[in-house]
């Protein structure tokens, strides 16, 4: 039994090591002739973990989907995770007869997502309200429809520098229709002056935009490409929600032909890669997460923008055609620490809102995720040998990958003694000082103080005060009569990780000493 669990841990350790060394490799797709449009789309889909997961996990295709395409995608993704792959199965399944004819990437992005069905493509699907208002009587008509990408206008009105934000503004602008287009109003019983606009009702996890680069020119009686340059921000703030750019499909050339490639950020190592058919190149991992966070490094090649010397063609670029933004979710990853029998598991269960952790001392760390909260409960760390201590910490990191951003030191207030204070400082030393800003003290009632319904005056307990001060005065008292305490505690923790700007503990400088 113990041998089995030891084996398990070392396997998990290996996975962890692999991940921490950023040993990810991506592979290219063979161009069958002029299928770079398809390659750029397939790589963007492959690099969208949720989509990959749902493609890989279907063994029985849902009713509304093209079973064959789903099978072909499964095959392709399997191959693509280990080697350069061919898209022959996909082109056949999509009925692409002539692989030497260039097609529109956005059109195929939409085609593929429609064909695999809503359950597989749900991560891209949002809901949009199209609203018309009668200006005479204020009667409003709302039509809700789903979307998988938003067409953004990039008309050059004042010859100003274009940005995605400006396009978005233009997209959501209210328009007064020309008299010829006035709509019939039920209430006024006639065609009346009409105002129309769109608003997003439900944001998808992945928000996709495509730019209106190709339009029919009535003077030239043909389609032309609008190659106007624009800025593509790395993150967009829409209605208190942040969306982070992770994929850009570029088109270089004119309407009748050109070349597609994609720039995609790996969610494994946060590095950007250029996917150009067979060729995949890492584009430097030094791009700042948000433009103002750190100076952006200049790369060796000549793809530097002239405006701000950023690496990617995201500034004043004529290339971007399709943009994919991922909704930013902040994940709370809690590590429960403390001497055994201090109700750590109960605190964990309280936070999760379910009885997951057993109410006895566990043998090895256990982790559970509910929504965007992960809780890891630890065994008695004080009795571990240095080796198993190191192993256990690795396990904790794995369970809260890439590492906990909140550490809760659970201790019964009534039993707070020199011994408790010693244990706290002991663990703190072993975990390193970086953990300090992530730590919060949780006072449980212990058995003596079942109902701690009065506010605790920490200042009266000198030892307690000192420990709390080490954690920058962050503490929370579990009070069984407060029914909102789980959400209050979670809110406090989210504030703490926001202050820490998303950093987390890796315990890298842990000394291998006996506890």
Ligand X SMILES: Nc1nc2c(ncn2[C@@H]2O[C@H](COP(=O)(O)OP(=O)(O)OP(=O)(O)O)[C@@H](O)[C@H]2O)c(=O)[nH]1
Q: CB of 313: closest distance to Zn ion in angstroms?
A: 8
Residue number with CB closer to ligand X (270 or 417): 417
Q: CB of 243: closest distance to ligand X in angstroms?
A: 38
| Beta strand pairing call for 126-134 and 140-147 | antiparallel
* Surface-to-core class of residue 465, CB atoms within 10 Å of its CB (0-12 exposed, 13-18 middle, 19+ buried): middle
Taking CB under 6 A as the rule, does residue 377 contact ligand X? yes
The one among 102, 345, 405, 479 contacting ligand X by CB under 6 A = 345
Taking CB under 6 A as the rule, does residue 447 contact ligand X? yes
* Surface-to-core class of residue 197, CB atoms within 10 Å of its CB (0-12 exposed, 13-18 middle, 19+ buried): middle
- Residues of 334-373 as b/e, b for ≥16 C-beta within 10 angstroms? bbbbbbeebbbbbbbbbbbeeebbeeeebebbbbbbeeeb
The one among 341, 386, 402, 515 contacting ligand X by CB under 6 A = 341
Q: CB of 321: closest distance to Zn ion in angstroms?
A: 18
Taking CB under 6 A as the rule, does residue 346 contact ligand X? yes
Residue number with CB closer to ligand X (38 or 337): 337
With CB atoms as reference, the residue minimizing the distance to Zn ion is 315
Cβ atoms of residues 505 and 435 within 8 Å: yes
The one among 188, 200, 224, 229 contacting Zn ion by CB under 5 A = 188
Taking CB under 6 A as the rule, does residue 445 contact ligand X? no
Close Cβ partners of 240 (under 8 Å, ≥ 6 residues apart): none
Query: What is the Cα 322 distance to its own chain's centre?
Result: 19
**Residues linked to residue 325 through DSSP beta bridges, in sequence order:** 207, 245
The one among 69, 134, 350, 468 contacting Zn ion by CB under 5 A = 134
Site string for Zn ion, 90-129 (x = CB under 5 A): ----------------------------------------
Residue number with CB closer to ligand X (93 or 342): 342
Q: CB of 347: closest distance to ligand X in angstroms?
A: 7
Taking CB under 6 A as the rule, does residue 414 contact ligand X? no
Taking CB under 5 A as the rule, does residue 136 contact Zn ion? yes
**Separation CA 449–CA 388 (nearest Å):** 34
Hey, which residues between 15 and 44 contact Zn ion (CB under 5 A)?
Answer: none
Taking CB under 6 A as the rule, does residue 274 contact ligand X? no
**Separation CA 149–CA 210 (nearest Å):** 7
Query: What is the Cα 34 distance to its own chain's centre?
Result: 32
Cβ atoms of residues 285 and 126 within 8 Å: no
Site residues (CB under 6 A) for ligand X? Answer: 340-346, 359-362, 377, 379-380, 447
Site residues (CB under 5 A) for Zn ion? Answer: 134, 136-137, 139, 185, 187-188, 192, 305, 307-308, 310, 315
């Amino acid at each position: 039994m113990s041998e089995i669990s030891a084996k398990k841990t070392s396997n998990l350790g290996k996975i962890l090591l692999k991940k921490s060394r950023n040993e990810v490799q991506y592979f290219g797709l063979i161009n069958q002739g002029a299928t770079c449009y398809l390659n750029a789309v397939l790589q963007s889909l492959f690099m969208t973990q949720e989509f990959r997961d749902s493609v890989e996990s279907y063994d029985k295709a849902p009713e509304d989907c093209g079973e064959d395409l789903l099978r072909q995608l499964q095959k392709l993704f399997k191959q693509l995770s280990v080697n350069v792959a061919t898209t022959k199965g996909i082109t056949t399944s999509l009925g692409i007869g002539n692989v030497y004819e260039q097609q529109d990437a956005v059109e195929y992005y939409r085609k593929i997502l429609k064909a695999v069905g809503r359950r597989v493509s749900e991560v891209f699907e949002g809901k949009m309200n199209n609203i018309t208002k009668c200006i005479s009587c204020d009667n409003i008509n709302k039509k809700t429809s789903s979307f998988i990408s938003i067409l953004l206008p990039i008309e050059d009105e004042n010859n100003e520098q274009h940005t995605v934000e400006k396009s978005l503004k233009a997209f959501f602008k209210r328009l007064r229709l020309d008299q010829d287009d006035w709509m019939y109003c039920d209430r006024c019983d006639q065609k009346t002056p009409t105002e129309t606009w769109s608003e997003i009702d439900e944001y998808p996890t992945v928000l996709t935009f495509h730019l209106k680069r190709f339009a029919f020119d009535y003077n030239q009686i043909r389609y032309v490409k609008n190659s106007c340059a624009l800025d593509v921000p790395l993150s967009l703030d829409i209605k208190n929600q942040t969306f982070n750019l992770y994929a850009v499909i570029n088109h270089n050339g004119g309407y009748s032909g050109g070349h597609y490639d994609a720039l995609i950020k790996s969610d494994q190592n946060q590095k950007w890669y250029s996917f150009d058919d067979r060729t995949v190149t890492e584009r430097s991992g030094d791009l700042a997460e948000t433009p103002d966070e750190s100076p952006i490094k200049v790369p060796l090649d000549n793809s530097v923008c002239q405006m701000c010397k950023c690496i990617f063609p995201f500034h004043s670029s004529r290339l971007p055609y399709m943009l994919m933004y991922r909704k930013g979710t902040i994940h709370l990853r809690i590590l429960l620490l403390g001497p055994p029998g201090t109700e750590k598991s109960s605190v964990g269960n309280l936070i999760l809102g379910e009885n997951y952790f057993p109410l006895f001392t566990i043998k090895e760390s256990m982790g559970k995720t509910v929504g965007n909260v992960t809780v890891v409960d630890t065994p008695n760390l004080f009795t571990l040998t240095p080796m198993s201590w190191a192993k256990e910490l690795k396990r904790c990191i794995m369970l809260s990958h890439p590492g906990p951003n909140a550490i809760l030191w659970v201790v019964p207030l009534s039993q707070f003694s020199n011994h408790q204070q010693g244990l706290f400082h002991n663990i703190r030393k072993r975990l390193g000082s970086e953990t300090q800003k992530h730590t919060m003290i949780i006072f449980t009632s212990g058995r003596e103080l079942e109902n701690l319904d009065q506010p605790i005056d920490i200042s009266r307990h000198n030892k307690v005060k000192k420990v709390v001060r080490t954690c920058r005065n962050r503490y929370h008292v579990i009070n069984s009569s407060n029914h909102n305490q789980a959400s209050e505690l979670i809110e406090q923790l989210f504030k703490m990780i926001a202050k820490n700007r998303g950093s987390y503990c890796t315990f890298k400088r842990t000394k291998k000493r006996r506890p």
